[in-house]
Amino acid sequence: AEFTGLLNSYGIKKKPTAVKKLQANAIVERAHLTMAEMLWTAGIIEADRWQLICDNILQAVSWDLRLTVHRILQKTPGQIIFGRDMIHPTIVHSN
């Protein structure tokens, strides 16, 4: 109820989507695709190394997604959220 109130206060409305409609979940689907490709590339075969490899890969994917420049905003999510570049010690101003 509290979360719904917050969404309503910002004018955010529900928009139901179909499970197989990738356009509605573009960011999530991109993250899933990146993770799947990294897992495939890592060649996860041995079950005893599964946890170690997954932890490293998920950390790398998170870092990669935060550093990907948005083609319209011309900024990375990390720059927008943190107000600074995640690699170089520079302050980033966003309007």
Task: Write the pLDDT tens digit of every residue in 76-87.
Answer: 877 887 788 777
Q: State the pTM of this model.
A: 0.46
Q: Where are the alpha helices (DSSP H) in 1-95?
A: 2-9, 26-42, 50-67, 77-82
Q: CA 60 to CA 44: how far, in whole Å?
A: 16
Q: CA 57 to CA 21: how far, in whole Å?
A: 26
CB 35 within 8 A of CB 58: yes
pLDDT in tens, 30-71: 777 777 777 777 666 566 667 777 777 777 777 777 778 878
Please tell me the predicted confidence (pLDDT) of residue 23.
Answer: 64
Residues contacting 40, CB < 8 A, separation 6+: none
Tell me the sheet residues that pair with 87: none
